[in-house]
Amino acid sequence: MLKIEQLQVKYGHIHAIKGASLEIKEGETVALLGANGAGKSTIIRAITGIIQMYHGTISNGKIYFKEKLLNKFSANKIVEMGISCVPEGRELFAELTVLENLRMGAFIIKDTKLIRKRLNEVYEIFPVIAERKNQVAGTLSGGEQQMVSIGRSLMTDPKLLLLDEPSLGLAPILVERVFDACDKLKKKGTTIFLVEQNANVALNFADRGYILETGLIKIEGKSENLKNNINVKKAYLGG
C-alpha cells in the first residue's frame, strides 16, 4: 500500500533523512521506532506532503501510495487519496467542542448524511467522546483529547492511518486506553503506520517494525523478533 524508496529529506544544510526505505502492506500495522530527533516525524511530514511547512525538502527518493507517486501531490490531495494523520501533540482546536473538532476532520466531505454516518462510527469506537461531544475540547483529559484527534482523522474513512507519537505526554493508564481503542481499528482492518518512542507499547501493538537512527533504517523485522533482538532490547526496551 505504501512504499518509500531511498527517501532523503533536508532542512537547509541538515540532512535529516539519509536514504530510508520501508513498506507497508494493506491491513498491516507497522511501527517506526527511534529516539527523539531520529527523524520519525520527518518521514510522516514527507508522506503527508507538509514537509515544506517545516522548511524541509525531499532531496531524493520516492514515496508511493497504491502505486501512485506521492511526491508530486499537495497535502489536501493526499488526504483525498486516503491518507489521514493523527499529528504529534494532538493539535485540536481547543476552544471548539468535540463535535466541532470531529466535523473539521470531514472538511473534504460534502454529503451531510455521510458525515453523520462517520460520526456514529467514531462514537462507536470511542464511546467516551460520544458522551463528551458538546464539551470544549481543551477541557478534556489528555487521553480523551488523543481519542478526539484520532476520531477526527477517521472522519475521511482513511485507507492508511498515520499515528504520530500517540502516547506522548500520557500517563500509562491513558496510553492503555488509547491503544485499546486503536486495537479496534486494527481489528477492522485499518492499515496503520505508527510512529512511537515507546517501543514496548509499539511492538506489542504492531505486526512489524523499523528502527530509525539518525535518518537511517538500522533494523527491521516482525515485532516479536525485534522484541527479542539484543540491540533493540538494550537501546529501546530497557533490557
Q: The C-alpha cell of 211 is what?
A: 528502527
CA 125 – CA 197 distance, rounded (Å): 25
Sequential DSSP letters for 21-84: EEEE-TT-EEEEE--TTSSHHHHHHHHHT-GGGGT-EEEEEEEEETTEEGGGS-HHHHHHHTEE
What is the pLDDT, as a whole number, of residue 48?
A: 97
- Checking if the pLDDT of 239 tops 60, the result is no
Order of strands, sheet of 2-11, starting from the edge strand that comes earlier in the sequence: 14-24, 2-11, 57-65, 68-69
Q: Place 197 in a pLDDT band, splitting at 50, 70 and 90.
A: confident
Please determine, looking at this structure, whether the domain spanning 26-39+82-236 carries the CATH number 3.40.50.300: yes
Tens-place pLDDT, residues 154-170? 999 999 999 999 988 88
What is the pLDDT, as a whole number, of residue 36?
A: 86
- Checking if the pLDDT of 124 tops 80, the result is yes
- Checking if the pLDDT of 151 tops 80, the result is yes
82 touches 153 (CB < 8 A): no
Tens-place pLDDT, residues 58-111? 999 999 999 999 998 999 999 999 999 999 888 999 999 999 999 999 999 999
pTM here is 0.93
